[in-house]
Structure 1
Amino acid sequence: MTKRWGITLPVAGLSIADQKELVASLPDLGYTDVWSAEADETDAFTPLALASAWAPRLRLGTAIVPVFTRGPATLAMSAATLAAAAPGRFALGVGTSSDVIVEHWNDIPFEEPYKRVRDTVRFLRAALRGERVDETYETFAVRGFTARLVPEEPPPVLIAALRPGMLRLAGREGDGAIVNWLSARDVRTIAPYVRERDPAKEIVARIFVMPGADSETARALGRRMITAYLNVPVYRAFHEWLGRDDVLGPMWRAWGEGDRRAALRAVPDEVVDELVIHGPAEHCRERINEYVDNGVTTPVIHLVGDPKDPVRAVRDLAPDG
């Protein structure tokens, strides 16, 4: 299998309009993939649409599109459009997102997330093949939808997964899993669930990286990121399952009591160092390769901390340095 090496778009520290030259240079630097995210910044599809024209050799992926915040037909049309614009180069990553994004920001009930993902993937398989869908699923119904734009090659559908149920779904009904907020050693825990039936299933890992950052700076930002994310119920449950009750328990208790400063102080250095890679670029590349050694198919760098020179950071983190 060809070694993959990806980066998240848009690259932190550059406006979207200023990314063209950098994105165009990625294949020559050794990057094979660009993946987008969708939370509180850009949508998932627009950065990839731009990249499809700027760098026609790159594989494009969404990591992820929430299944709750778009209707099934709208999601299918968006995916089909990008798959048609970049034949054979697009992978659709979908997932539940979180109750914060779905309920608090979009005023949509976050109900039966596992079933919603399962039903959406089943619908997408049919819709992206151009089939007429008239189906009542457990979590929604689609009446008489037929996509008029059908890509010649339906894109693979990957599922964002954290714990065993969704990880198994990603391996059983998806083309693989998308994971984040885990250490390299955690990959050994999640990979067997994804590959229970098929050892070739893809695992995409979004990895937080701060190249060139000193430990004090990286840990200060890492603590803020960890308290913001790992107190969200789905991520807390993930790390409880991974066995971090002892090391993150004090943070969870302080957060639950409303003491945000104590929660920050309670995050151990070793947890930050596991989950947010930092230091010289060569060290960062070595740490990223540990994820690959433990079972990740596609590492996807997510630059954090608004690097002073994002172009240099991307070049320094290229697979061959």
Structure 2
Amino acid sequence: MRIGLLLSEPKGPGELGELRERIVRAAEEGFSSAWMSNIFGLDALTALAVAGGGVPGIELGTAVVPTYPRHPAALAQQALTVNAALDGRLALGIGLSHQVVIEGVYGYSFDKPARHMREYLSVLVPLVRGEQADFEGETLKAHIGLTTPGAGDMPVLIAALAPRMLKLAGELADGTVLWMTGPRTVAEHVTPAVTEAARAAGRPAPRIVCTLPVCVTDDVEAARALAAEVFAIYGELPSYRAMLDREGAAGPADVAIVGDEETVSAQIESLALAGVTDFVAAGFGGSGRTREFLRTLL
């Protein structure tokens, strides 16, 4: 199981310079990957191209770019350009976002999201593989080929939690990017579904990228209280709430990986046993102890 880091977005002046320093440090320390979310701050793809260019030896991923505001052909062109700038080290993670965002903020319909993702991948995947996209669906159309460099070596991963989305992650994409999903849910729900979908489609074994909050500490109670505060919103969004319920977790604090080095090591090992191929640590609590421990796992 590869070990990566979730890059928190820098704030204030010099954001891209600070982001580059974080990527350089992660690469120098030997982490296999570094991932960036795409919410309402920096555009993740642009930021990774600028800050990660010329930093060798580390995969850079988006976790995740929302699909609805971007036509898949436009996203393919942007992602291929970024992949070329990064010398083929981009992992493109995409996702539906949430109904409250897509309808309430952007004004798009969130009707039949799995249909949307299937149609989206039907355009995006051929293009990033260097093929022509000729597709007419219910919500998307595309008749286009791209000459953008960087095609053919960029994994496309989708944020998939529900059964139909997990099927798409194995059948049409290269795997899934998870958040707020505990080890039991990964083992019993995610891994079997996405692996079987890939097998049935004759595709390689999928990547399962699992991102969770991590804090190495002796004060477990305080760390879980902090996690409950910092990550509270994820207990309210329906897709994450469904995974927490499946795990038997009252809230995000219950799936955060918290404890001393031995305890945290055992929790991370349980993810590997559940089928996770890439564990991405979202460190919280502000202690260098967590980072130092994660380096011992590399």
Match for 2:26: what amino acid?
L
- TM-score, structure 1 normalization: 0.80
1:1-321 correspondence runs (5 A): 3-10=1-8, 15-142=15-142, 144-189=143-188, 190-196=190-196, 197-198=198-199, 200-212=205-217, 214-225=219-230, 227-240=232-245, 242=246, 244=248, 248=250, 272-273=253-254, 275-281=255-261, 283-305=263-285, 307=286, 313-320=290-297
The answer as to whether partners of 1:23 and 1:54 remain within 8 angstroms in 2 is no
Q: Which residue of 2 aligns with 1:259?
A: none
The answer as to whether partners of 1:68 and 1:102 remain within 8 angstroms in 2 is yes
Q: 1:182 to 1:281 in 2, by over 3 A?
A: same
Q: Matched residue pairs, number?
A: 290
Q: 1:280 to 1:12 in 2, by over 3 A?
A: farther
Q: 1:12 and 1:317 mapped to 2: Cα distance?
A: 21
The answer as to whether partners of 1:128 and 1:150 remain within 8 angstroms in 2 is no
The answer as to whether partners of 1:119 and 1:137 remain within 8 angstroms in 2 is yes
- TM-score, structure 2 normalization: 0.85
Match for 1:170: what amino acid?
A
Secondary structure class of the residue paired with 1:103: helix
The answer as to whether partners of 1:215 and 1:279 remain within 8 angstroms in 2 is yes
Q: 2:269 and 2:257 mapped to 1: Cα distance?
A: 12
Q: 1:130 to 1:187 in 2, by over 3 A?
A: closer
Secondary structure class of the residue paired with 1:45: helix
Q: 1:109 and 1:41 mapped to 2: Cα distance?
A: 23
Structure 2 residue runs without a partner (length 5+):
none
Q: 1:120 and 1:104 mapped to 2: Cα distance?
A: 21
Q: 1:11 to 1:315 in 2, by over 3 A?
A: farther
Q: Return the offset for 1:100.
A: 2.4
The answer as to whether partners of 1:208 and 1:301 remain within 8 angstroms in 2 is yes
Q: Deviations over 1:173-195 (max 9, x none)?
A: 11111111111222211200011
Q: 2:80 and 2:65 mapped to 1: Cα distance?
A: 14
Q: Return the offset for 1:282.
A: 5.2
Q: Return the offset for 1:58.
A: 0.5
Moved more, 284-293 or 189-198: 284-293
Q: Return the offset for 1:234.
A: 2.1
The answer as to whether partners of 2:160 and 2:178 remain within 8 angstroms in 1 is yes
Aligned alpha-carbon RMSD (Å): 2.7
Moved more, 9-18 or 30-39: 9-18
Q: 1:31 to 1:80 in 2, by over 3 A?
A: same
Q: 2:31 and 2:131 mapped to 1: Cα distance?
A: 35
Match for 1:272: what amino acid?
A
Q: Return the offset for 1:11.
A: 6.2
Q: 1:106 and 1:178 mapped to 2: Cα distance?
A: 23
Q: 1:81 to 1:10 in 2, by over 3 A?
A: farther
Moved more, 281-290 or 110-119: 281-290
Match for 1:299: what amino acid?
F
Q: 1:23 and 1:31 mapped to 2: Cα distance?
A: 10
Structure 1 residue runs without a partner (length 5+):
249-266
The answer as to whether partners of 1:171 and 1:195 remain within 8 angstroms in 2 is yes
Q: Return the offset for 1:167.
A: 0.9
The answer as to whether partners of 1:10 and 1:36 remain within 8 angstroms in 2 is yes
